[in-house]
């Protein structure tokens, strides 16, 4: 499987953010998007997810499901955690399992996801009362409640302490080790295996 972007040109309002970008991410590989604020990391991720239509260029997931869009085959984690404050931690995980149609028994996957992100002791706790770091970990737990070959993560370590960041790194490494793909926008170094870096600021200068 391979994510391929060819000659992407992406505008945001009247400003050209990405101009003639091409890259590929192979199965078992993570791609880190780096560069200063405003360089286009979030815009590129949103375009890969299908939220933004590029002015020019093509995006495809070779080896994926031809009847699904790239976004439908991806986990997309943005700046917000997308959790329901009125539900408990476990209920949020169960909701994502049902919504994403994992096709497997909900309980084992949701329990494993909460355990991985250190939330098992808070499973009955209302999400509204979680700390910022706990809410971020709960938002990230949906990566593990249903299988998706592609992970698109925008600043996923936001609000995480060192130990929680290591939990995320472990999840990404397990994902790529099993043949998954990940594209991650980050300002911070991540100790990932099988990783490459794409500096969007350098790409803009070259363009």
Give Dmax over CA atoms of the chain in angstroms: 52
Q: What is the distance between the alpha carbons of residues 5 and 200, in angstroms, rounded to a whole number? A: 14
Q: What is the distance between the alpha carbons of residues 11 and 21, in angstroms, rounded to a whole number? A: 12
Give the structural domain span for 173.
2-206
pLDDT tens-digit series, residues 91-134: 999 999 888 875 556 788 899 999 999 999 999 999 999 999 99
Enter the tokens of residue 169: 């790194």
**Where residue 160 sits, what CATH number does that domain have?**
3.40.50.300
pLDDT tens-digit series, residues 49-74: 999 999 999 999 999 999 999 999 99
Residues 6+ apart with CB under 8 A from 33: 41, 44, 45, 183, 184, 185, 186, 198, 200
Answer yes or no: are the C-beta atoms of 34 and 197 closer than 8 Å: yes
Please give the tally of structural domains in the chain. 1
């Amino acid at each position: 499987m391979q994510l391929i972007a060819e000659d992407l040109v992406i505008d945001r309002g009247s400003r050209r953010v990405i101009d003639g970008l091409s890259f590929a991410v192979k199965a078992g590989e993570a791609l880190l998007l780096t560069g200063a604020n405003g360089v286009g990391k979030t815009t590129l991720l949103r375009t890969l997810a299908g939220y933004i239509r590029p002015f020019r260029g093509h995006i495809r997931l070779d080896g994926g499901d031809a009847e699904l869009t790239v976004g439908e085959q991806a986990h997309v984690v943005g700046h917000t955690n997308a959790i329901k404050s009125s539900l408990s931690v476990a209920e949020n995980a169960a909701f994502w399992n049902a919504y994403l149609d994992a096709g497997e028994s909900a309980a084992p996957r949701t329990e494993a996801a909460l355990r991985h992100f250190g939330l098992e002791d808070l499973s009955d706790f209302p999400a509204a009362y979680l700390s910022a770091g706990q809410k971020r970990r709960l938002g990230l737990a949906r990566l593990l409640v249903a299988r998706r070959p592609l992970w698109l993560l925008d600043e996923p370590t936001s609000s995480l302490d060192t130990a929680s960041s290591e939990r995320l790194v472990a999840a990404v490494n397990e994902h790529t080790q099993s043949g998954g793909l990940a594209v991650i926008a980050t300002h911070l170094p991540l100790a990932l295996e099988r990783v490459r870096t794409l500096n969007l600021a350098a790409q803009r200068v070259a363009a």
